[in-house]
Structure 1
Amino acid sequence: MTHAEPLVRFSGVQKTYDGEQLVVRALNLDIQRGEFLSLLGPSGSGKTTTLMMLAGFESPTSGDILLNGKQITGTPPHKRNFGMVFQNYALFPHLTVGENVAYPLTVRKVPKAEQAERVKKALDMVRLSGMADRLPTRLSGGQQQRVALARALVFNPQLVLMDEPLGALDKQLREHMQIELKELHRQLGVTFVYVTHDQGEALTMSDRVAVFNEGIIQQLADVESLYETPSNRFVAGFVGDSTVLTGTLQTQGADAGLQLPSGQWLQGVNVNQAPQGAAVEASIRPERIVLHPSGASTGPNAVPATVARAIYYGDHLRLMCDIGPGQAQATVKLPLTRADANPHPQPGAQVQLEFPPISTRIYAL
């Protein structure tokens, strides 16, 4: 991203509803022009409240929200000129598709002839050409969501805010709409701010993701960095699958590592600079673990394991492995890309799991 002035800046923003508990605390966030930024987190983490403060439906208890360098904390929603898309579509049932899409233009007193032209363009954009005269109730959920999107884009807003817009759709349609939304964003170059609790959705569409928990951004990064180098235990556990090992932090020379209760030492990355002897967790992505047959020659970062379950997913096989007392089962993903001459490990098989040091990320408890 460029270092030009951001489109939106949250500076020291806090929000409380009861005067005691902070729903959003000390939020500093820059939103760059033209980016697709997702606010990701569990329920109650502060992501929707942040979006509502940006939209103007909620006011910060303290701190500033700037748009193009100007304070907008006191600006009412309709004067912010942002497009909004909600999970429940919020379409007017008694108005046709065309009238729904034209509504923001009518409010802005755009001449009728120009309205017709812009509505047609917006419906073409979301692939609903020729549906202007239908009522929303005659459309599928996916089509209704596209109408809501066309309505949010028709007045050329500088910012489009979306609150779980695909949450009501079935899995296949949701995945299809994710690709369409990302493509639309690429074509238009408008800034999108997208709230979701679905990590896959955030990774699929975003340029950057802000991971929220307990009112604080835990990590703000591009999707690859977020997945490969989570900055703390929460992000490692919330974004993507992880195998987690517990033990104590022990250094050997210049190298940090995890000492398992069995006494075995596994080299890793000491992410939060945990001190020597501290209780720690190591987190590793299941597809980074290398599976070896029992008795095979491996590097020092391998532990013996027993396959407890093998689950077939079509494109990969997921093995649940027991790795010793006091440890959760390790999950290993084996890609299934071709007819494999070797039979896959079955429950009860003895194997060795190798944890590459660069992918073994150690976090203080």
Structure 2
Amino acid sequence: MSIERRDIDDGAQAGAMALLARAAAADGRADSRLRGAIDDFYLSDHARLDDRMRLAMGRVLDDLALGVEAALRGHAARLLAARAVPHLADALGRQSPATRDRLIGSGLMRDPDLMRELFGRVRQDLLADALPSEAPEDPDRASLLPRLVGAADGVVAAGAMALLSAESRRRIPLPPGQPLSTELPAELHHRLVWWVAAVLRERFGDGAPDALAQLDRALSEAALRSIAAHDEGERLEAVALRLAAALDPQADEFAGLLVEALADRRLALFIALLAHAMGIDYDDAREIVLDPGADRLWLLLRALELDRQSIARIGLALSEADPARDIDRFADGLDAIAAIDPVLARQALAPLLLHRDYRAALVALGRGR
């Protein structure tokens, strides 16, 4: 290699500029890593995600992005092939592993509503999987959900069967890259579909205007088809709420049904029963149940007039499933929990009955103050 001084030709000049650009980008990445490390260092333990949660969230994000992409690619490619644009159909038909990375890199996946839903879903599924499975007190009696499937009340039986199906869909994912139901609320499903459609379109850059117009039309039609086919009523959470409404347990049945739902590891039904009884959204009830501090949960159970023994069984089951819960603190405070007047508990929980957007605005104002 020659190191003698000589005039720099155009190729060397271009190489130097590319090196400078890479170095500048590296500075930016280093700064981003530093800011991320600082943020992580100052996170409190209760706000930091554990490894199980990180892995589960990664899987969910991958499944959602690739599943929606597969549906859009498949239908749009068929449309393009039928419209005599085979080169675009072939290019669109090839899967790319970068969809999730592009969505995250763009900041779209930081959408608070989407992340609140996904964090809630993943935490719910992890907690449900970790719940201790208790043998029924009567060994000849079927467990809760199979028993409800055989109920004489047809609405209850149909609701229980629907919940079994919804749980199977949630727990047995399709192979990667296969079209799937996102199981998101309708508005969030719509957002995700349009985001993925935009990522697919972006890969084609600036091409021939006529071809890109055909691509835009095909992707838009595929997105609208996915939106039209989505039924948020099939979500596990929605199905559980319908079953809770069909059961509509009376006061003397309610505590036993809650305890049995947890013993049967039917956490979605447990949450739905609480939401239905209190008249609050499923999302609010889920947030209360998943909170390791559990102070609002004890208020909720007392507002619904659960007795000390039932609260003890519920608290023990949740503590065994979630290592973040302080079982000793719960045991020490059990008498105080049971002594709470149900009327006072309902008054303390009254803000949960307000419109969710109104409550969010109040929280935002408080944060700013």
Whose Rg is larger? 2
Specify the TM-score bucket, using the shorter chain as the normaliser.
under 0.3
Higher strand share: 1
